[in-house]
Structure 1
Amino acid sequence: MRIGIDVGGTNTDAVLVDGRKVLAETKTETTLDVTTGIVRAVCGLLEAYPFHPSDVRAVMIGTTHFVNAIIEGRGLAPTAAVRLGLPATRALPPFVDWPQRLRDLIGGHAYLCHGGHEYDGRVISPLNEDELRGVATDIAGKGVRSVAISSVFSLVNGDAERQAAEILTAEVPGLMVSFSHEIGRIGLLERENATIINAALRELAEQIANGLVASLTTQGITAPLYLSQNDGTLMDLEYARCYPVATFASGPTNSMRGGAFLSGLGECAVVDVGGTTTDIGVLHNGFPRESPSEVSISGVRTNFRMPDVLSVALGGGSVIGDTGAIGPASVGHLLSRKALVFGGDTLTATDVAVAAGLADVGDPSLVRHLDRSFTSTVLKQVADRIAGIIDRVRTSPAPLPVVLVGGGSILLRDEIDGVASVVRPEHHRVANAIGAAIAQVGGEVDRVFTMDAQRREETLDSARQEAVDKAVAAGARADTVRVVEVEEIPLAYLPGNASRIRARAVGDLVFEDVARRARA
């Protein structure tokens, strides 16, 4: 058995899964400290389907902890950005495009040093050890505890970043280091920004990882804990301590993966209507289509793996104005206290759905006074806005089936303008938690290769195999690993037939190893 948990802005959902069978599900309010909500969710599962904690072989969690920390500017560690590239890159130093508020929160300590590589691996300039020791002395004096190291074309050769880290940690014991070649993609500033964000979250990641373990241990569950990543795959807790940015979009991703699992569709759009927002994305081969461009996180441009999801401030908790205007304000996790049907004093989208007969929650008598034409107008606005977003995420005029998931999907009928078919599968209310529970392990390659026309297929095969090997190393069962994506992008502005190759492979978690580690 596995437990899948997804922590949303309004609710914390949990499911108990055995193979492809959902044994129990529960939905509780998300608490301010989040971990309390997780404890309540696990207790809810125990009430719905009594099980022995030792029967749980793994726990998978999708959490909003880290992205909320960046958005709210809390729990961030003093961080230094060390860039290797001199004499190049001097014109645009680290933090150049950061909002001043966020930069001030983490200190904004930036250092330019010699090093880095050209696209073909040639050294721009050798590392200067004395220069780096000077940086180490300065950051130690400023109380910096985490550092982000970026190097020009480190995706081609990451040696400069690793060597710089050895020098810095020798001078500042206990310094936490994040490498840009392990986090971002091609594009120095965006990759560097993602690495700085990751570095600023490292201390918080330690605290949260310990808190998550403690919240499960109190329930007697000692099975290994995994966190959902942005691409729909899993990472173990030790990896999460080092790479917290990999969880930023785990919520929408879990919903999309859960929608694919429940509906049996691998090519579709998934509409996840929650309490606060609606997330819409497209699945290809059962996995979310990734964003082809940079992603802005709290005003900072980044380029690490993120799903291509469009979000709108629309959900079951959206506040409805006197004229029928929807949101963007929401009662969020206070829905069960503030909505009219629960005895509250705020008109929400959920109240409108109940008044229109689309849902049976709370006390329908409390919304009988709502005019039918008013409720019809509000629900039409909801349907029109979502239909418009679905049209935006489509990449072809071909009919695209839509899967509705999330507790807020009660706002929609089973017909949407311009959509070929609408599927609302069983357990759709907790699809996000199911997506976490059934998540697989992945491996990815994304770097620049020099392509010889005579050996193109050999190079592509090598990239595929490297992705497969990474998936196996991450804990996937070798006989279940498959390559789900290969992308080749010729870089015409570089000499030498350079091409960027991305390959991604996924496979099922090795539960035998999980059980052994749990006993160790």
Structure 2
Amino acid sequence: MYKLGIDVGGTNTDAVLIDEDLAIVAAVKHPTSADITRGIMGAMDAVLEASGVDRTQIKQAMLGTTQCTNAIVERKGLAPIAVLRIGAPATVGIPPMVDWADDIRAVSVAETIIEGGFEYDGKRLAEFDEAACRAFFESVHGKVEAVAISCVFSTVRNDDELRAAAIAAEVLGDAVHVSISSEIGSMGLIERENATILNAALYDVAKRFTEGFAESLADKGVTSADVYLSQNDGTLMTMEYARRYPIFTIACGPTNSIRGASYLSRMDDAIVIDVGGTTTDLGVLAHGFPRESGVAVTIGGVRTNFRMPDVVSIGLGGGSIVREREDGTVSVGPDSVGYAITERALVFGGDTMTATDIAVRLGMAEVGDASLAAGIPEDLALRAMAAIRELVEEGIDVMKVSNDGIDVVLVGGGSIVLPTDLAGTAKVVKPEHSGCANAIGSAISKVSGTYEALVDYDEVPRDEALAAAREAAVEAAVAAGAVRETVEIIDIEDVPLAYYPGHTNRVKAKAAGDLGK
């Protein structure tokens, strides 16, 4: 039995085949094309040819893709939606999408706020206005492909969201996708609502790339594989789940790299530096999984609060363009030749000096024709490397939580441009197959489940609340496809909420287990 992992990056699409013992059978890099599907097909062809395995023995196929992120950033392929907020009269002062740019706000055909919702303690704020809800959905019938529903304090009680979703399905039919905020975001109505709106708008994009991946596998003779998508907590989701929650694929690339780095280095706690062709992502490996961001995250200019990895991106990659200014200083990036590096970089016969050329000139890497970079003055190359070092060391300082040195794992095809004696580190390792860490992370990913609730410890003792959270997280992971015997708690926290009465805490638990064979 084999697993196929594919991860689409801005410069390269990586593919890897691993066996049932998680040993790497073959790993390849293939240039990402403007048409992402062609890049996936090319990478798949290459890894299948390199491995020579019986394609019918590939039983699981995993894809990590940037298509949802690109759709939001580029404002392309988003579905027309309607937005319903349940929270009048308390929330009418700030309408939905109040701070969105016009070009992304255009995804909404109509939006409204109706009465209903709850207080922070679960008491009803106002009675749910079912008539207004039904009238709104009737007004957008035939005009939208998806609906976003949010409700004030729905993370405490989601009764009204569920009722509104049922009405939407009744009025609009099953063909219209419904997103509800209690399943997507955390505390904070506006940011949670924003994430839900983006999730609804991504419905068409998710449908296209999930169906396209399944068709690509069939075209290549991989007909016996269960198909999964990578999500941004370092775990997997089914095709059906991905269509319901496409927003969870955003930033799955860095999380795949972090998981792959952990597997390759056998380290559970470190900073992972993933260097691609255009950007470098720095993330934190905590207990074998990506550290989750604790602050609101902006995606394509939209502020959201759904779960996202704690990642810092800098404009440095193997294809970053190197320039010498008139004052003698040297800049590296943030612009890059991207997937055209094999045409434009000096070592490939091009006319553009890149970070890869600098690494080759200094003897740090063997890529292309080294003689073509020999004309770069050594002094210029050293100053360029100093600029590269400074960019990365600043990123390390941002991710650290103390002054102590921390272990670092270098991965990504562009990691050849980085030195290994970086300030602020205890040790820097670059494991074998590090260039395809993202695809490896996709292939070896587990299945997770998360539980989150507000609990007053005056009413429910802390030990009982945490035990219930652990049990609920395990059940969520099993429901998502994890083998029960392999599920373990990978993170649990309780955070006191000072502005709530009593001893209210936000309790959150996360469990993960192996995917069933």
Tell me how far 1:306 sits from its aligned partner.
Answer: 0.4
1:474 is the counterpart of 2:480: yes
Tell me how far 1:455 sits from its aligned partner.
Answer: 1.9
SS of equivalent residue, structure 1 residue 401: strand
Matching residue of 1:490:
496
Superposed CA offset, 1:181-224 (max 9, x none)? 00001100000000000000012211111111111110111201
Q: Give TM-score, length-normalised by structure 2.
A: 0.97
Distance 1:183 1:431 in 2: 28
Q: Is the 8 Å Cα contact of residues 13 and 27 (structure 1) preserved in structure 2? A: yes
Tell me how far 1:175 sits from its aligned partner.
Answer: 2.1
Q: Which runs of 4+ in 1 moved over 6 A?
A: none
Q: Is the 8 Å Cα contact of residues 6 and 12 (structure 1) preserved in structure 2? A: yes
Distance 2:288 2:198 in 1: 29
Alignment of 1:215-254 (within 5 A): 215-222=216-223, 223-254=225-256
SS of equivalent residue, structure 1 residue 39: helix
Q: Which amino acid aligns with 2:494?
A: E
SS of equivalent residue, structure 1 residue 350: helix
Superposed CA offset, 1:340-391 (max 9, x none)? 1111121111111111111111111111110011111101111111011101
Q: Which amino acid aligns with 1:493?
A: Y
Matching residue of 2:27:
25
Tell me how far 1:137 sits from its aligned partner.
Answer: 2.2
Q: Is the 8 Å Cα contact of residues 67 and 205 (structure 2) preserved in structure 1? A: no
Alignment of 1:115-514 (within 5 A): 115-140=116-141, 143-173=143-173, 174-222=175-223, 223-323=225-325, 324-452=330-458, 455-511=461-517
Q: Is the 8 Å Cα contact of residues 168 and 178 (structure 2) preserved in structure 1? A: no
Q: Which amino acid aligns with 1:124?
A: L
Worse overlay, 254-263 or 166-175: 166-175
Q: Is the 8 Å Cα contact of residues 95 and 108 (structure 1) preserved in structure 2? A: no
Distance 1:175 1:429 in 2: 41
Distance 2:467 2:414 in 1: 44
Matching residue of 2:7:
6
Q: Is the 8 Å Cα contact of residues 79 and 107 (structure 1) preserved in structure 2? A: yes
Distance 2:167 2:398 in 1: 49
Q: Give TM-score, length-normalised by structure 1.
A: 0.96
Q: Is the 8 Å Cα contact of residues 270 and 402 (structure 1) preserved in structure 2? A: yes
Q: Which amino acid aligns with 1:492?
A: A
Distance 1:110 1:330 in 2: 40
Distance 2:472 2:458 in 1: 19
Superposed CA offset, 1:42-71 (max 9, x none)? 111122110111111101111001000000
Matching residue of 1:64:
66
Q: 1:364 to 1:144 in 2, by over 3 A?
A: same
Matching residue of 2:41:
39
SS of equivalent residue, structure 2 residue 38: helix
SS of equivalent residue, structure 1 residue 403: strand
Tell me how far 1:108 sits from its aligned partner.
Answer: 5.6
Distance 2:44 2:176 in 1: 36
Distance 1:155 1:231 in 2: 20
Superposed CA offset, 1:277-302 (max 9, x none)? 00001111011110001000011100
Distance 1:453 1:153 in 2: 20
Distance 2:228 2:177 in 1: 22
Q: Which amino acid aligns with 1:80?
A: A
SS of equivalent residue, structure 2 residue 481: coil
Q: Which amino acid aligns with 2:171?
A: E
Distance 1:453 1:287 in 2: 33
Tell me how far 1:20 sits from its aligned partner.
Answer: 2.7
Tell me how far 1:140 sits from its aligned partner.
Answer: 2.0
Q: Is the 8 Å Cα contact of residues 467 and 505 (structure 1) preserved in structure 2? A: yes
Tell me how far 1:313 sits from its aligned partner.
Answer: 0.6
Q: 1:110 to 1:454 in 2, by over 3 A?
A: closer
Tell me how far 1:329 sits from its aligned partner.
Answer: 1.0
Q: Is the 8 Å Cα contact of residues 340 and 347 (structure 1) preserved in structure 2? A: yes
Q: Which amino acid aligns with 2:149?
A: I
Tell me how far 1:447 sits from its aligned partner.
Answer: 2.2
Tell me how far 1:168 sits from its aligned partner.
Answer: 2.1
Matching residue of 1:514:
none
Q: Aligned residue pairs: how many?
A: 509
Q: Is the 8 Å Cα contact of residues 3 and 17 (structure 2) preserved in structure 1? A: yes
Distance 1:150 1:252 in 2: 29
Q: Which amino acid aligns with 1:474?
A: A
Q: Is the 8 Å Cα contact of residues 96 and 190 (structure 2) preserved in structure 1? A: yes
SS of equivalent residue, structure 1 residue 335: helix
Distance 2:110 2:370 in 1: 57
Q: Is the 8 Å Cα contact of residues 79 and 146 (structure 2) preserved in structure 1? A: yes
SS of equivalent residue, structure 2 residue 56: helix
Q: Percent identity?
A: 48
Q: Is the 8 Å Cα contact of residues 403 and 424 (structure 2) preserved in structure 1? A: no
Distance 1:22 1:107 in 2: 45
Distance 1:219 1:385 in 2: 42
Distance 1:5 1:372 in 2: 38
Q: Is the 8 Å Cα contact of residues 270 and 403 (structure 1) preserved in structure 2? A: yes
Q: Is the 8 Å Cα contact of residues 406 and 424 (structure 2) preserved in structure 1? A: no
1:75 is the counterpart of 2:77: yes
Distance 1:65 1:187 in 2: 27
1:86 is the counterpart of 2:106: no
Worse overlay, 94-103 or 301-310: 94-103
Worse overlay, 462-471 or 123-132: 123-132
Q: Is the 8 Å Cα contact of residues 95 and 110 (structure 1) preserved in structure 2? A: no
Tell me how far 1:453 sits from its aligned partner.
Answer: 6.4
Q: Which runs of 5+ in 2 are unaligned?
A: none
Matching residue of 1:518:
none
Distance 1:418 1:137 in 2: 60
Distance 2:418 2:482 in 1: 38
Q: Which amino acid aligns with 2:410?
A: L
Distance 1:510 1:234 in 2: 12
Q: Is the 8 Å Cα contact of residues 186 and 447 (structure 1) preserved in structure 2? A: no
Distance 1:115 1:410 in 2: 56
Distance 1:282 1:453 in 2: 36
